[in-house]
Structure 1
Amino acid sequence: MHRLGRPLFILPLLLAFAAPTHAQTPLRIEHLLRCGDLLAGESTEFCLTIQAPEAPLQVLIDGELIPAEAVRRDGSQLRLTLPARERGAPVWLRQGDEASNPVWLTAGSSHVIAARPDEVVKSQEGISSYLDLVSVVIEERYDGLREARRLAEKYGAEVVGAIPPLNTYQLRLPADDLIERDALVLRLGNELQVDAVVIEESGPEGEAESSSREPRASEWAANRFVDAVAFFRNRIPAKGDPVDTEPIRVGVIERNVDVDLPDFRRYRGACATEDGHVCLYARDSREADGHGAIVAGILAAQRDERGLSGFLSALEPVGAGYEVIVDRNSDAGITANVAASVNLVEDGVRVLNWSWGIHRVGTRDVQGEEVDSLIRSGIAMSGYEELLEEFFLWLRREHPDVVVVNSAGNGSTFSSADDYRLPSSFVTEQLLVVGGHQRSERRDLPVEHPDYAERRRSSNLDMRVDITAAACTRAWTPDGKPGEVHCGTSYATPMVAGVVAAMTAINPALEPEQMRELLRRSAMTIGRDSDFEPVEADDLTAPILPSERDYRLNDRDVGRSARLDMRKALELAVESRQYER
């Protein structure tokens, strides 16, 4: 089981640049990517895009100044050359008394590169596709790097990226058009040592909708958000029977957040989880209502208004604290999402938030209409399916205590159709799938009532969805004023991920399958009376079973869909500790 430890420190020295200070220019890290030779083992290079005055500047990793000779600066670009490390750590800038946003510098070896704009072309389906960058999944019985280099030499390609734990390597092919690329892909796929070839089709993976709907306080109340916070802050330090918790790392697969938002202004420079604090590591964006900012905010936003803070930050100062790491490796689509996930897991993350997913071309919704967003070609879906399968097999084998929380999607279609929806269709104990609900128009009902909330019509559904959570939230502007309302299963997912992180902190011995059981046992219900077969597409989640209600066959919840009860889930996590003693 992962435990948080102090990352390997770098030798302390000062990096200084002689230039005048401009206080009006804030310190920011906007991008951080592994660069240079991605396969190098003894030393690694990282390229940073920064916003900083040309003035004396310090670069720190886990609080230690790095040597001047390890850094080169060219305007807004920094290049770090560092020895290989055993553990990941946050990196940030310091200039006088000002510190930048900290960004996670992984110790993992999984890195892939994104195509430049002139290396992306439109396929016959009208989907943007990488022209010459593909990844090959090598059969596990072979030495992946050796085989990748052999294939590169055979086909005139170059090995440019890798996800070594999954025996997957990225190649740059000698292709000038899609016909040449597809011919090479076909030949590579017929190689005995190759399990699959992954074609990257670029596009935004964020699943969200803007909405004119006014989010009421009851949106999060439908999941007992405030009740859960109150329970945690009172029960964990309870006199006479306190609960010891452990620090937990949460990985959020997103590009970046707007660190100038009031939500995130506290997260600057050094941070420690001691005394129950939350730490956030993320690249800076200038989009106040960006997908990553909203997702990360549901976990770690810092606000004064009661009930509006992110869930984990609302638990402060009780418990052992949380580290929320926002990372996406590069802009190389699904392949980068998987690479980032592998690195984060190897760096000690216990809970992964995947607020993304894709549909295959031709996917039809519950009304029989074709889904027209977040679609990929059949050949790309086949490669992604193999890559994701390798990821979950590796997770089960090497990190069986890690939980992935994934959005069901907003196509109003079926999450369990593995030919048409990824990754939510995978059946594994380590994947929790989250649907989205909204507050119903009924005002006269208690929160426990099944009609208190209703499925968002766009939310994907069916037996593969484990639980549903509030899908609507409001973005905030840099001046602290309410922004637009955004809805989608992307925003229901961190509600569940936050609860799973808190449950893991309470009882680190909980296995993913037990976590799902506790979430379902504690769940409230949503929707009308149902049976165990989909009726007119009204079953949002897998139906609650008698075994999830103490084997009471006549329990009124049996057969209904499951709605997240954050407070009850935490209560059951506390109760589960007695069975571990």
Structure 2
Amino acid sequence: MKQNYLSGLVLAMAAAMPASALSAQPLRVEQLQRCGDRLQAEVQEFCLRVTGLGDSGWQARLNGTPLKQQAMEYQDGQVRIQVKAAEAESGPLWFEQDGQASNPIWLSLNSSHVVAATDQEVVKNMDGLTTYVDLISVIIEESHNGAKESRRLAEKYGAQVVGAIPPLNTYQLRLPATNLDERDALVLRLGSEVSVDAVVIEESGAEESVESETAREPAADDEEWASNRFLDAVNFYQRRLPREGGDIETHPIRIGVIERDVDFDSPDFADYLGDCRSGGPRTCVYARDADQPDGHGTTVAGVFAAAWNGGGNSGFLRGLDKVGPGFEVIVERNSDAGITANIAASVNLVEDGVRVLNWSWGIHRVGAIDINGKEVDSLVRSGIAMSGYEELLEEFFLWLRREHPGVVVVNSAGNASSYSGRDEYRLPSSFVTDQLFVVGGHERSDKDVAVDDPEYAIKRSASNIDMRVDVTAAACVLGSTKEKGQRGDVHCGTSYATPLVAGLLAAMMSIDPELEPEQLRMLLRRSAMTIGEEYDFEPVEADDLTAPILPSERANDLNHPDVGRSARLDMYKALDLAVQSLERVR
């Protein structure tokens, strides 16, 4: 059995740090991963890295209930806890000591967990991409018992089952391979097994960044988000949906954000510490703590939930707190095991009641071509890896449609000036399903025109395009900062347009939780403003930004000026249509 990498890393860091430094640090949970026997469902073990925690006098709470001290072990910043699944539910976990409370982190008691490779367990392949040497996943055919069959395969090939995504009949194996030749030989043999649908090879480094792009100064007076009527939408929700005395009852919605961590030292997130649920309905954020406020996860989560007038960003759902039902934003990535971990985390979150998944990530196949005919050179994967990912994503969306038809996934179109909908080039945006929304990015133009004018915003040059894109949204946002009142750096990319749409869909669901994915898309498209020129349903010089607006999306008016143009998010009108739709049902 290999030594637990996380445990060794934590112990080494703690040993080099004086006790006074530990006590001076704020109480923060920086890491949580399933450990021990990951296939054990009855009693689950979790390993956490917690900074600022003293040797005694501390308490951990899960869903507000103190965990028994005998179920926890603590040594030099690492906490190992045991939870009996029959006696607890998934929920926020946090630590308390000497009047301090840590950031709450989501602990899922569901069964999907995968292992990430260490630096010693990855190499470069022929394409120059980092790939796992001895960790692969097998998708077992539906006609077989996945757990039983994976154990049989492991015994046959001298492997070990170390992770699983049981709802997708997917199991992670550690192979007896020390190089790529040995791995590929075993992959070929496993792939030829009658019971194996596909083999997933992971190509990612332990800390590889996801889609992001930093750029110019934003337009003055928050005109980027004005292009989507952000403040108008917040004002409408506050005015039309009062918590007391209103004629519409709103409903709490849970959002899953597939990201690594959030900086709780930033003023944007400083008041999310401890028991966020106490004191009445409000937006809550559960996440691992990050070192710096300018990380990808902090910025994406900030679009949902950053405090207003705090540390740079302003979250849409946070703006609804005065009247809203209480939104829960769960930032979770399972482990650093790349796309496989993203799917494992997504499955757990959906089983924990998440209605909206935010996927601000995506990958291109090696050899993908952008709109200028040049090869895409970022976030690329080999053909064999893409084939495995495609099968895994297909299993996920089939499971989602079968078991959780009311859940929606909102995915960034990508930042490679390429095509979002070509399945031979890009995942996951190329999947065609009612439950997947794809978001492109735009920026403020230099034209002095009204906000509803098609020329108010222009396509962001890096944004991926084509018919698979449902809508564009503002791509540039101010990041969070360390100091209150400071102006954050600009972050641009479809990663940050995506949570604008995901947050809006969550708000629409809070108005009417019975809205189905195809109805949400219909309302989103009917409410959309336009962007760009009219293309008569055919892409011209590869500039068709989204699927063109159809006559059916404009009351069947063939002569409507919006018909044939690309769609730009209108958050205010979408909320208004959601309310109108609810009133018609009544």
Taking structure 1 as the reference length, what is the TM-score of the superposition?
0.94
Letter in 2 for 1:415: S
Report SS of the residue matched to 2:526: helix
Q: 2: CA distance between counterparts of 1:77 and 1:465?
A: 44
Deviations 1:138-164 (A, max 9, x none): 001110010000000000000000000
Q: Is 1:207 aligned to 2:207, yes or no?
A: no
Q: Which moved more, 1:325-334 or 1:85-94?
A: 85-94
Q: Is 1:326 aligned to 2:318, yes or no?
A: no
Q: Which of the numbers 462, 466, 471 marks the counterpart of 2:470?
A: 466
Match of residue 4 from structure 1? none
Q: Which of the numbers 478, 489, 498 marks the counterpart of 2:494?
A: 489
How far does residue 89 in structure 1 lie from its aligned partner after superposition? 0.8
How far does residue 24 in structure 1 lie from its aligned partner after superposition? 3.0
CA 1:489/1:397 → structure 2, altered by over 3 Å: closer, same or farther?
same
Letter in 2 for 1:416: G
Letter in 2 for 1:168: T
The 8 Å contact of residues 137 and 196 in structure 1, kept in 2 or not, is answered as yes
How far does residue 22 in structure 1 lie from its aligned partner after superposition? 7.3
Q: Which moved more, 1:296-305 or 1:558-567?
A: 296-305
Match of residue 251 from structure 1? 256
CA 1:229/1:120 → structure 2, altered by over 3 Å: closer, same or farther?
same
Q: 2: CA distance between counterparts of 1:533 and 1:205?
A: 35
How far does residue 25 in structure 1 lie from its aligned partner after superposition? 2.0
Report SS of the residue matched to 1:392: helix
The 8 Å contact of residues 215 and 473 in structure 1, kept in 2 or not, is answered as no
Deviations 1:71-96 (A, max 9, x none): 00111100001101563110000002
How far does residue 210 in structure 1 lie from its aligned partner after superposition? 1.1
Match of residue 168 from structure 2? 166
The 8 Å contact of residues 275 and 319 in structure 1, kept in 2 or not, is answered as no
Q: Is 1:198 aligned to 2:200, yes or no?
A: yes
Q: 2: CA distance between counterparts of 1:428 and 1:316?
A: 32
Q: Is 1:104 aligned to 2:106, yes or no?
A: yes
How far does residue 56 in structure 1 lie from its aligned partner after superposition? 1.5
Letter in 2 for 1:29: V
Match of residue 379 from structure 1? 384
Match of residue 11 from structure 2? none
Q: Which of the numbers 502, 507, 511 marks the counterpart of 2:516?
A: 511
The 8 Å contact of residues 298 and 480 in structure 2, kept in 1 or not, is answered as no
Q: Is 1:285 aligned to 2:290, yes or no?
A: yes
How far does residue 476 in structure 1 lie from its aligned partner after superposition? 2.7
Letter in 2 for 1:430: Q
Q: 1: CA distance between counterparts of 2:279 and 2:265?
A: 24
Match of residue 222 from structure 1? 227
Q: Which moved more, 1:236-245 or 1:211-220?
A: 236-245
Q: Which moved more, 1:342-351 or 1:467-476?
A: 467-476
Q: 2: CA distance between counterparts of 1:147 and 1:440?
A: 57
How far does residue 235 in structure 1 lie from its aligned partner after superposition? 0.1
Taking structure 2 as the reference length, what is the TM-score of the superposition?
0.94
RMSD in angstroms over aligned alpha carbons?
A: 1.6
Report SS of the residue matched to 1:211: coil
Deviations 1:174-210 (A, max 9, x none): 1110011011001101100000000000143521111
Q: 1: CA distance between counterparts of 2:126 and 2:25?
A: 46
The 8 Å contact of residues 273 and 321 in structure 1, kept in 2 or not, is answered as no
Match of residue 451 from structure 1? 455
Report SS of the residue matched to 1:136: strand
Q: 1: CA distance between counterparts of 2:210 and 2:278?
A: 29
Match of residue 144 from structure 2? 142
Q: 1: CA distance between counterparts of 2:454 and 2:541?
A: 18
How far does residue 384 in structure 1 lie from its aligned partner after superposition? 0.2
Structure 1 residues 72-91: aligned runs within 5 Å = 72-85=73-86, 87-91=89-93
Q: 2: CA distance between counterparts of 1:50 and 1:311?
A: 30
Match of residue 526 from structure 1? 531
Structure 1 residues 341-352: aligned runs within 5 Å = 341-352=346-357
Match of residue 121 from structure 1? 123
Report SS of the residue matched to 1:185: helix
Letter in 2 for 1:249: R
How far does residue 23 in structure 1 lie from its aligned partner after superposition? 6.0
Letter in 2 for 1:512: P
Match of residue 400 from structure 1? 405
How far does residue 272 in structure 1 lie from its aligned partner after superposition? 1.6
Match of residue 49 from structure 1? 49
Letter in 1 for 2:34: R
Q: 2: CA distance between counterparts of 1:199 and 1:251?
A: 25
How far does residue 276 in structure 1 lie from its aligned partner after superposition? 3.6
Q: 1: CA distance between counterparts of 2:285 and 2:554?
A: 37
Letter in 1 for 2:36: G
How far does residue 324 in structure 1 lie from its aligned partner after superposition? 0.4
Q: 1: CA distance between counterparts of 2:414 and 2:185?
A: 33
How far does residue 21 in structure 1 lie from its aligned partner after superposition? 11
CA 1:330/1:525 → structure 2, altered by over 3 Å: closer, same or farther?
same
Match of residue 9 from structure 2? none
Match of residue 300 from structure 1? 305
Report SS of the residue matched to 2:190: helix
Match of residue 187 from structure 1? 189
Q: Which of the numbers 155, 177, 187 marks the counterpart of 1:175?
A: 177
User: How many residues are treated as equivalent by the alignment?
Assistant: 562
Q: Which of the numbers 268, 274, 281 marks the counterpart of 1:269?
A: 274
Q: 2: CA distance between counterparts of 1:201 and 1:132?
A: 12
The 8 Å contact of residues 215 and 474 in structure 1, kept in 2 or not, is answered as no
The 8 Å contact of residues 405 and 433 in structure 1, kept in 2 or not, is answered as yes
Match of residue 319 from structure 2? 314
Q: 1: CA distance between counterparts of 2:256 and 2:310?
A: 26
Q: 2: CA distance between counterparts of 1:56 and 1:278?
A: 30
How far does residue 319 in structure 1 lie from its aligned partner after superposition? 2.2
Report SS of the residue matched to 2:272: coil
Deviations 1:416-462 (A, max 9, x none): 100110000000000000000000011x2000000000000100000
Q: 2: CA distance between counterparts of 1:238 and 1:94?
A: 32
The 8 Å contact of residues 103 and 281 in structure 1, kept in 2 or not, is answered as yes
Match of residue 25 from structure 1? 25
How far does residue 212 in structure 1 lie from its aligned partner after superposition? 2.6
The 8 Å contact of residues 205 and 358 in structure 1, kept in 2 or not, is answered as no
Q: 1: CA distance between counterparts of 2:286 and 2:427?
A: 27
Letter in 2 for 1:529: E
Q: Which of the numbers 438, 441, 444 marks the counterpart of 2:443?
A: 438
CA 1:89/1:305 → structure 2, altered by over 3 Å: closer, same or farther?
closer
Report SS of the residue matched to 2:572: helix
CA 1:177/1:344 → structure 2, altered by over 3 Å: closer, same or farther?
same
How far does residue 303 in structure 1 lie from its aligned partner after superposition? 2.3
Match of residue 420 from structure 1? 425
Report SS of the residue matched to 1:324: strand
Q: 2: CA distance between counterparts of 1:239 and 1:336?
A: 42
Deviations 1:48-85 (A, max 9, x none): 00102424211111111111110001111000011015
Unaligned runs of 5+ in 2: 1-18
Match of residue 15 from structure 1? none
Report SS of the residue matched to 2:401: helix
CA 1:406/1:208 → structure 2, altered by over 3 Å: closer, same or farther?
same
Q: 2: CA distance between counterparts of 1:420 and 1:22?
A: 47
How far does residue 110 in structure 1 lie from its aligned partner after superposition? 0.1
How far does residue 213 in structure 1 lie from its aligned partner after superposition? 3.0
The 8 Å contact of residues 275 and 317 in structure 1, kept in 2 or not, is answered as no
CA 1:241/1:74 → structure 2, altered by over 3 Å: closer, same or farther?
closer
Report SS of the residue matched to 2:214: strand
Q: 1: CA distance between counterparts of 2:62 and 2:224?
A: 40
Deviations 1:377-400 (A, max 9, x none): 000000000000000000000000
CA 1:145/1:306 → structure 2, altered by over 3 Å: closer, same or farther?
closer
Q: Is 1:555 aligned to 2:557, yes or no?
A: no
CA 1:348/1:273 → structure 2, altered by over 3 Å: closer, same or farther?
farther
The 8 Å contact of residues 274 and 321 in structure 1, kept in 2 or not, is answered as no
Q: 1: CA distance between counterparts of 2:551 and 2:82?
A: 58
